[in-house]
Amino acid sequence: MTEVITNIQDMQRLARDFKRDGKSVGFVPTMGALHDGHLTMMRRSIAENDVTVISVFVNPLQFAPDEDYDAYPRDIEADTQAAKSAEVDYVFHPSVEAMYPGEIGVALKVGRLADVLEGAQRPIHFNGVVTVVNKLFNIVQPDRAYFGKKDAQQLAIIEKMVADFNHPIEIVGQDIVREADGLAKSSRNVYLTEKERQEAPELQKSLKSAEKLYREGERESKIIVEAVTTYLESHTSGHVDEVAVYSYPGLIEQQHIKGRIFISLAVKFSKARLIDNLIIGDEEID
């Protein structure tokens, strides 16, 4: 039976009980608007841990004043039902006032990893992410925490944060969960018009064209970026915000590709900015 916890002290008390009883805890942090991508992580956590906790918390610190914090979808009843369908043990749903009862006196700041890609577009975003994730980790005390690879830059930053702050937590990256036509599942897909929704699967197809070039031996980033950009411009009505090739997880922009790489793209439609990516290659290069 799924239980909803809204009080931080109650969640901490449960966490202490789990540790005392020797139970492993899996944790899936979310901002709600749950979809199959989230449910896949929940089911994986349930399979790999004794207890699974998810959080539903729309974190104001990661939204700039001109972004969609107020408009971000919130439906805790639907989210709770989704969590119950996956047989999650606990839904942690604190209020903003509980999480941030006063001005934050000590702030976390992400370094170089946040200076590129989404971090360059949204300068305060990842500082807010690491702040809330640190708080959630301290409250829930998980053994494993699950994050989607669709937000691959976020995943790299969380992995670095865990290493830098010595959190005794295994970070598990979950492969992108897609619709039948290839569109990466996202809470922002509901903002697409009917025409844009028909075009949106072209994002994954553009990445497949990049993978084909890579498999055929292309190692010049400029050629791959140009090919993906041309494909997107000819197959969608959205504005191509960015196509880039970086090392992964080091996130250093690549001119001549070597090792494991991260091909990232962002396309701005009328009311939704969609991101997608491909991680390819064998050797990790920082």
259 is in an annotated binding site: no
SS3 82: helix
Comparing 94-98, 118-122, 194-198, 241-245, the range with the smallest average pLDDT is 118-122
Under the banding of pLDDT at 50, 70 and 90, the label for residue 187 is: confident
**Region class of 90: left (phi > 0), else alpha (psi between -120 and 50), else beta:** beta
Fold exhibited by the domain 3-174: Rossmann fold (3.40.50)
153 is in an annotated binding site: no
Domain boundaries, the chain: 3-174, 187-280
Under the banding of pLDDT at 50, 70 and 90, the label for residue 71 is: confident
User: Helix 8-20 vs helix 125-140: angle between axes, to the nearest 10 degrees?
Assistant: 50
What token pair was written down for 264?
Answer: 């990232």
pLDDT over 70 at 285, yes or no: no
- In whole angstroms, give the CA distance from residue 136 to residue 189: 27
38 is in an annotated binding site: yes
What pLDDT sits at residue 67?
87
pLDDT over 90 at 268, yes or no: yes
SS3 280: strand
Under the banding of pLDDT at 50, 70 and 90, the label for residue 55 is: very high
10 Å Cβ neighbour count for 247?
A: 21
**Mean pLDDT, the chain, as a whole number?**
95
- DSSP label at 185? P
Under the banding of pLDDT at 50, 70 and 90, the label for residue 286 is: very low
- In whole angstroms, give the CA distance from residue 213 to residue 217: 7
61 is in an annotated binding site: no
What pLDDT sits at residue 139?
98
Architecture of the 187-280 domain: 2-Layer Sandwich (3.30)
Under the banding of pLDDT at 50, 70 and 90, the label for residue 283 is: low
- In whole angstroms, give the CA distance from residue 216 to residue 32: 40
Q: pLDDT, tens digit, for every residue of 193-235?
A: 999 999 999 999 999 999 999 999 999 999 999 999 999 999 9
What token pair was written down for 223?
Answer: 């050629």
Instruction: Name the percent of the chain lying above pLDDT 70.
Output: 99
- Hey, which residues are catalytic here? 38
Under the banding of pLDDT at 50, 70 and 90, the label for residue 107 is: confident
105 is in an annotated binding site: no
pLDDT over 60 at 250, yes or no: yes
For the whole model, what pTM was predicted? Answer: 0.93
